[in-house]
Amino acid sequence: MSKSLFNTEVLKSEISQIRQFDEQVSEFGDLIRLTLGQPDFPTPYHVKEAAKRAIDDDFSFYTQTAGYMLLREAAADFVKEKYNLSYDPKDEILATVGATEALAAVLLTLLNPGDKVIIPSPFFSLYESLVRYAKAEPIFIDTSDSGFIVDPDVLDATMHEHRDNLKAVIFNYPNNPTGTTWNKETVERISTIFEKYPETIAISDEIYSEIVYDQPFVSLGEHLREQTIVINGLSKSHAMTGWRLGLIFAPRYLTEQIVKTHQSLVTSASSITQFAGIEALTVGKDDALPMKEQYQIRRDVVIKALRSLDFEIAEPTGAFYIFAKIPEAFAQTSFDFCYALAKETKVAIIPGSAFGAAGEGYVRISYAASLENITEAMDRITHYVNSKR
């Protein structure tokens, strides 16, 4: 088939390396998978009940493009109470089909061919493909030398270098894949830098905002409101990945354009899911807390095991990932390390290279799995690593 039939960037791109790796190691039979980027908990019962009521009450029609007003009001109150954010539910909040559609709608709205978008690396792979599909150019900043948190001076220098075509910077904290997050000081320093580049938009993917340990979550939308598009959603906070509900919070001049793209892509988010969302953001506003307690216990088990084996670990202050450097004794790529580990121990973890070049030499371990499986996996990894030294 003629190659010109397709968007060349789609042709060049591959299906997610995470999926590819998962398929390859499946041949090893029954594995303990610490690969998943989604909560292992069920959706809270009362949220499911709200959706069932919506079905029985025949809420089966298209909703407003931006989502039900009740949902936007619930979202506005939630982010005000939790993160001190101020967005008008009337025209500064959009309900989307997951954070994924939110990102697609935002990037399609902002980007012209030839625009540049800075992406701190390692990164969630969707960012690169969406930027490329829009014929824009990703510029990566390697954060592995600065504890996987973008160095403000390096960011400033990179923004300056590319200032002529620079449209946006995509941030993500708490971070997938590194589990690092920003404190108030980092948020303030980054905000100050953006003041020098008033034409550049910060796209802040805050989907893990409810899963931060031992410190408050500070949103970029609080400190850099007029230049920031906050992306969030219920996938991680309420264990609702399959329901597909995301949220965009942005000043009016941005949402009034994004809403057009969103309408062309999906018309609106699912009506039934939106009812579940209203319940989750009001009655269930603290539903993430008990899950977070469990994640923290599991996280500490992984940290203890890996540190005793000389894996260097990025400070895991959020989300449910540990990003660990493979000990030097293993002169292997991260793919080969993970492949051999899966083959010999039947424990699957993700090679860091799936998250960009800056992730090579590392592995991502998801602790969104049962404590029993995590403990068993750590025993097997300990045995494996010790047998190779």
Ligand X SMILES: Cc1ncc(COP(=O)(O)O)c(C=O)c1O
End-to-end, the C-alpha distance of the chain in Å comes to 51
Which lies closer to ligand X via its Cβ, residue 67 or residue 98? 98
334 touching ligand X, by CB under 6 A: no
Binding to ligand X by CB under 6 A, coded x per residue (else -) over 93-112, reads -----xxx------------
Residue of 209, 227, 235, 274 that binds ligand X (CB under 6 A) = 235
Which lies closer to ligand X via its Cβ, residue 205 or residue 385? 205
The string of DSSP letters for 166-216 reads EEEEEEESS-TTT-----HHHHHHHHHHHTT-TTPEEEEE-TTTT-B-SS-
Q: What are phi and psi of 267, to 5 degrees?
A: 70, -60
Binding piece for ligand X, criterion CB under 6 A, among 92-100, 131-139, 194-202, 257-265: 92-100
Q: What is the side-by-side order of every strand in the sheet holding 93-96?
A: 93-96, 246-249, 228-233, 201-205, 166-172, 116-121, 137-142
Residues 245-304 that bind ligand X (CB under 6 A): 246
In angstroms, give the least distance from the CB of 257 to ligand X. 21
Which lies closer to ligand X via its Cβ, residue 207 or residue 324? 207
Which lies closer to ligand X via its Cβ, residue 158 or residue 235? 235
Q: What is the side-by-side order of every strand in the sheet holding 350-351?
A: 312-313, 321-325, 362-366, 350-351
Residues 144-203 that bind ligand X (CB under 6 A): 172, 176
Q: How many CB atoms lie within 10 A of CB 9?
A: 15
Please give the Cα distance from 166 to 161 (Å, whole number): 9
Residues 195-224 that bind ligand X (CB under 6 A): 205, 207
Binding to ligand X by CB under 6 A, coded x per residue (else -) over 11-40, reads --------------------------x---
Please give the Cα distance from 375 to 341 (Å, whole number): 16
Residues that bind ligand X (CB under 6 A): 37, 98-100, 124, 172, 176, 205, 207, 233, 235, 241, 246
